Structure 1
Amino acid sequence: MNVAASKPHIKLGYVPTRRSIFSAPDAIKFRGLTAERLTELGVDFVDIDDVNEEGLLFDDSHIQPIVDKFRAAGVDGIMLCHANFGTEYLCARLAREMGLPVLLWGPRDERPEPDGTRLRDTQCGLFATGKVLRRFQVPFTYMTNCRLTDPEFERGVRDFLAVCNVVKTFRHTRILQMSTRPFDFWTTMVNEGELLEKFNIQLAPVPMTELIQAVRAAEADEAGLAETLAWIGEHMKIEITSEQTRTVAALANGMKALIDKYGCKAGAIQCWNALQDELGIMPCAANAILNEMGIPVVCETDIHGAISALMVEAAGMGETRSFFADWTVRHPDNENGELLQHCGPWPCSVACEMPRLTYPLAFDHPGALTAEAKHGELTLARFDGDNGEYSLLLGNARGIDGPKGMGTYLWIEVENLKRLEAKIVEGPYIHHVVGIHQNVVPVLYEACKYLGITPDFYDPIEEDVRAYLRGE
């Protein structure tokens, strides 16, 4: 059983541009230097060096060939490299036509010539293009005017690739909805039609009977079951019967089969109570197995929670697994501390100890994990909405010490818990959140501008995030 999550692959459309009144030879020089630097960084990009002799955008006739080439190659975002001043209206026309994330950048200008002449005036061109992109209503990401060797260049390019990954993932999301939401969970109610109309987010609903059928089919696949059981034995301390463990493995394999069948990227399951009547287990550990694969499966049919997990996973570029949690209780000793916990669906790689495959806190059936998560710096995020408006709650936290818990859990500390508490209660958020042991707040913040979502910080850190994005 291959549980390792696949690394995302993002392809960049590279568009160096110039304006005729500045040095064409110098623009050609810098279009080449920038391409070399992107290659050094391992960026997969599609060049326009065959569109004209210079490999530069500077005439209206260049736009359609570039569009055709980029679409054929399946690029995920475009980089407008101002090799000299650049032609702002051509950049805007191309960007509008492509409808993809846009990285606006130009190399820092050199010292003027002894006679006072300047070869490129790149910074001035960036000012012009930024304005015209706004006129065309094209959202864009600005990477500070820097040298190719500056650390801001590498960081800015890598962050932009992550932004492209979030946008690509969000715009092509299909979620397996396994049964209805639990009756008691009115908080996880969603507007399926609106998600499709606004964001192209699709649901693939299947009844509980179809899920059970998939589990029974998985039980009959001895080879597949043995592979999953071997993985469980290697990564979990088993404290339930062998038959119950076998059912956990069959549920994981059955869910994976349905996710593949319906072309989904994530799942949301009605984890209680009908499932226990049919299988006699909780699905938490089975969820954890798929979560380890980078296929988020969230609890209580929380569709918005699954969307949150996909966004966070995409922002992390496959480097770290995310975890789906409840905001539960305040820390008994730390005024800004809170317990993140759930019955046991977190990936094993999140834990600071070998998870125990056992019984959950609030239910009588086995199949949940118990383990404390690693401490360290975190990003916490929640996509949610109501009344036609959607936003992304996001911010940072850090793992701290606290009392022993059950299920998968982590005590965290934020800057101001009372402010966060009010933000969740006043909405549009609920008691569910997704965490990851990476700082992906700037990437998620930047991705929101392309998705029609309002970024909503629970701490007043927006200026700090913008300063990071400026390379400060």
Structure 2
Amino acid sequence: MNNMPELKIGIVAVSRDCFPESLSVSRREALTEAYKKKYGEEGIYECPVCIVESEIHMVQALEDIKNAGCNALVVYLGNFGPEISETLLAKHFDGPKMFIAAAEETGDNLIQGRGDAYCGMLNASYNLRLRNIKAYIPEYPVGTAEECADMIYEFRPIARAVVGLNDLKIISFGPRPLNFLACNAPIKQLYNLGVEIEENSELDLFEAFNRHEGDDRIASVVKEMEEELGTGNKKPEILAKLAQYELTLKDWIEEHRGYRKYVAIAGKCWPAFQTQFGFVPCYVNSRLTAQGIPVSCEVDIYGALSEFIGTVVSEDTVTLLDINNSVPADMYEAEIKGKYDYTQKDTFMGFHCGNTASSKLSFCEMKYQVIMARTLPEEVTQGTLEGDIVPGDITFFRLQSTADNMLRAYIAQGEVLPVATRSFGAIGIFAIPEMGRFYRHVLIEKNYPHHGAVAFGHFGKALFEVFKYIGVPVEEIGYNQPKGVRYPTENPWG
């Protein structure tokens, strides 16, 4: 995948001047060795120039990690640590940062070998708040070299997301379709997050598409599509137009990314798109998303943002689906009940017209868009990629700006069941514990739109920390409460 941040984490050890500096040196070396032994040498850098004991040391360490190309920072309290210098280091480092601390090593060395970093983390956290510095602190931030190495590894997806957001541009085309106010959210929060937004007319896109007619690259893209679709290539006559559209989007990205490294797209796909372009863009959206360039449907800007976050956290293809329809009682009784530990209200169908990458479908066929073909000629609705979504673990999530410009998010882990959907589009039967209550008291209560991003695997822990880090209030991060834990708006009498 391209369009992804490459991470290089700098480890800087600190020491209070009344503690032996050698403690921090030996512990930093042990931490780096433990990390490289378990996770490899790529993407990690041990700052050798000094142990930070003063503001002068802070400047020296900062220059060193910048020169080494580090875009994420681990401040490692080898002992108690200098609360001013260590937090100034975090303040002046332009990128995500993490604070962790060394545990004591042996009961036989608690005089000259005691570091008191457990205590030092308290002072560090207080000074971070004094200076309004965002930093990631793990659930239990004190550990042995091996345990701290694991903490750094868990920091990686969080850091990737923060680095990515700081260099992201979202390109949109056209206003949201009529009756899609749910996808129309204030863009102010994008700027608060450091994200750029370029809003264009779909007429601009149509003009660019027409300029690509006869592009000599179309044939090679068609060949790629044919190889990808295989026997599922049921609409070969539309591939040349789809290839033309794909090239249009890719060229637009390169011409409009400006100074930003990463791009996501919020694309228009109806109602006038089909009649003017002569196809639907679903398959192209799926192909770009599989290449690391998320494309949301229906000009869903925060959907594109959510997809991008899921892509960099999971380092895998994501998708955007409607939280769409209930599972019929007869299907539940025949194919789910007794086979899987879910009630009917724990299940639902996630669907979109055909925007999910072929690698995330159990089977796929190029078809026409059934819903649109009810009111339009079928030939202009071709271009969807249909199939049942692959079974396995998923995380359903979304980052959203509310109508009153507040950041909100939700995360729910579950799975796609290996049960045939018997329906159309890119679709799967999803199961999330206590989904019915989550649907009512988070999704409906907090006014979320029907689109949710899907990451293929369980990434709730990392996403929760990403949302916290970028400023979503903890009380505004919804998740599916376990049975017996009541939502604030849930009627206590049922």
Structure 1 residue 342 corresponds to structure 2 residue 352? yes
The one-character-per-residue Cα deviations of 1:439-458 (angstroms, maximum 9, x if unpaired) are: 21111111122211235233
Aligned pairs for 1:64-463 within 5 A? 64-98=59-93, 100-113=95-108, 117-143=112-138, 144-149=141-146, 152-192=147-187, 194-222=188-216, 224-236=217-229, 237-263=231-257, 265-316=263-314, 318=315, 320-332=316-328, 333=332, 334-353=344-363, 355-364=364-373, 365-386=381-402, 387-400=404-417, 401-422=419-440, 423-455=442-474, 456-460=477-481
Pair 233,80 (structure 1): closer, same or farther in 2 beyond 3 Å: same
Residues of 1 paired with 2:325 and 2:33: CA distance? 52
Residue 433 of structure 1 aligns with an amino acid whose one-letter code is G
TM-superposed deviation, 1:402:
4.8
2:142 aligned counterpart, secondary structure = coil
* CA separation of 1:79 and 1:115: change in aligned 2, threshold 3 A: closer
SS of 1:361's partner is coil
Tell me the distance in 1 between the aligned counterparts of 2:369 and 2:321.
Answer: 14
| Cα distance in 2 between the residues matched to 1:85 and 1:116 | 14
Matching residue's letter, 2:433? E
1:27-46 alignment runs, 5 A limit: 27-40=24-37, 41=39, 42-46=41-45
| Separation (CA, whole Å) in 1 of partners of 2:298 and 2:450 | 12
SS in structure 1 at match of 2:372: coil
Residues 189 and 406 in structure 2, CA contact (< 8 A), matched pair in contact too: no
Equivalence for 1:467: none
Write out per-residue CA displacement over residues 394-450 of structure 1, whole angstroms, 9 at most, x where no aligned residue. 120111125312110111011112222212222231100000112211111111222
8 Å CA contact 1:103, 1:142 repeated in 2: yes
Aligned to 2:341: none
Are 2:9 and 2:73, in contact at CA under 8 Å, matched by a contact in 1? yes
Identical positions, percent = 20
Consecutive unaligned residues of structure 2, counting only runs of 5 or more, are: 333-343, 374-380, 486-494
Residue 18 of structure 1: aligned partner = 15
Q: Distance in 2 between matches of 1:114 and 1:418?
A: 55
Instruction: Report the aligned-residue RMSD.
Output: 2.2
- Measured after TM superposition, the shift of residue 46 of structure 1 is 4.1
User: For the Cα contact (< 8 Å) 1:328–1:431, is it kept in 2?
Assistant: yes
User: C-alpha separation between the residues in 1 aligned to 2:251 and 2:189?
Assistant: 25
Given that 2:302 and 2:399 are in contact with CA atoms closer than 8 Å, whether structure 1 keeps it comes out as yes
1:101 Cα deviation from its structure 2 partner: 2.5
Structure 1 stretches of 4+ with a deviation exceeding 6 A read: none
Q: Which amino acid aligns with 2:12?
A: V
Report how far residue 116 of structure 1 moved: 5.1
Change (3 A) 1:363 1:83: same
Structure 1 position 369, deviation (Å): 0.9
SS of residue paired to 1:328: strand
The aligned amino acid for 1:259 is I
| Cα distance, 1:325 vs structure 2 | 0.3
Cα shift at 1:126: 2.4
Q: 1:273 to 1:260 in 2, by over 3 A?
A: same
Match of 1:469 in 2: none
Q: Measure how far apart 1:196 and its partner are.
A: 4.6
Whole-Å Cα distance in 1 between the matches of residues 128 and 55 of structure 2?
16
Where 1:105 maps in the other structure, the secondary structure is: strand
Question: How far apart are 1:160 and its partner, in Å?
Answer: 0.6
Offset at residue 336 of structure 1 (A):
1.2
CA deviation profile, 1:447-471 (whole Å, cap 9, x unmatched): 122211235233137xx9xxxxxxx
> Normalization by structure 2: what TM-score?
0.85
* Aligned mates of 2:226, 2:285 — CA distance in 1: 16
Aligned CA distance change for structure 1 residues 7 and 305 (closer, same or farther; 3 Å):
closer
Residue 238 of structure 1: how far off its partner (Å)? 4.5
CA distance in 2: counterparts of 1:432 and 1:200, whole angstroms? 23
CA distance, structure 2, for counterparts of residue 238 and residue 245 of structure 1: 13
Q: Deviations over 1:31-66 (max 9, x none)?
A: 22223334443342344323xxxx200112112233
The one-letter code of the counterpart of 1:292 is A
The Cα offsets for residues 337-372 of structure 1, whole Å up to 9 and x where unpaired, read as: 01000000011111122x101112302211101111
Aligned-partner Cα distance in 1 for 2:93–2:22:
28
Give the 3 Å change call, closer, same or farther, for CA 115–441 of structure 1 in structure 2: closer
Cα deviation for residue 177 of structure 1 reads: 0.7
Structure 1 letter corresponding to 2:237: E
Alpha carbons 2:287, 2:357 under 8 Å: kept: yes
| CA pair 216-21 structure 1, distance change in 2 beyond 3 A | same
Change (3 A) 1:128 1:406: same
- The worse-fitting range, judged by mean Cα deviation, of 126-135 and 57-66 is 126-135
Q: What is the Cα deviation at residue 275 of structure 1?
A: 1.5
Name the SS for the 1:287 alignment partner.
Answer: helix
